[in-house]
Amino acid sequence: MSDCLFCKIAAGEIPSRKLYEDDLCLAFYDIEPQAPVHFLVIPKQHIASAAEVDAGNSALVAHLFEVIAKLAKEQGIGSFRVVSNVGEQAGQSVPHLHFHVLAGRDMTWPPG
């Protein structure tokens, strides 16, 4: 989508601190980290949110989780939180599917 921030980051039109990239996805550090480790994993394909996951794109979402597990291992983070906010009330500010990976501090439950 031409006016989507994360599509632009995926296309390299807006710079990011990249952690990992392949044909299908990109992982990059969040610009406003909420934990000592805070990166985002996004599909290169535009999917608006986790509410738009279906049989046609769920293999891609599974790939994102493989990448999350691989990056967590590489970074030596055995305990981490994966978050995907859906919609404004849940705090989604960028309407392109992304998984936050947060680690390096104690996490509270339930989340605020």
Q: Which residues are catalytic?
A: 98
User: How far apart, in Å, are the Cα atoms of 21 and each of 12, 42, 76, 107?
Assistant: 11, 10, 19, 27
Residue 44 interaction partner, one of Zn ion, ligand 5GP, none, beta carbon < 5-8 Å per kind:
none
Per DSSP, 2 falls in state: T
81-83 β-sheet, strand order: 18-21, 25-29, 37-43, 99-103, 81-83
* Listed ranges 62-70, 71-79, 89-97, 104-112: which one lies at the site for ligand 5GP (CB under 6 A): 89-97
32 binds ligand 5GP, rule: CB under 6 A: yes
Q: Is 73 helix (H, G, I), strand (E, B) or coil?
A: helix
Comparing CB distances to ligand 5GP, the nearer of 14 and 69 is 14
DSSP 42: E
**Quick check: 39 binds ligand 5GP (CB under 6 A)?**
no
Among Zn ion, ligand 5GP, none, partner that 32 touches (CB below 5 to 8 angstroms by kind): ligand 5GP
Least distance from C-beta 83 to ligand 5GP, angstroms? 7
Pairing of strands 18-21, 25-29: antiparallel
Q: From the CB of 106, what's the least distance to Zn ion, in Å?
A: 33
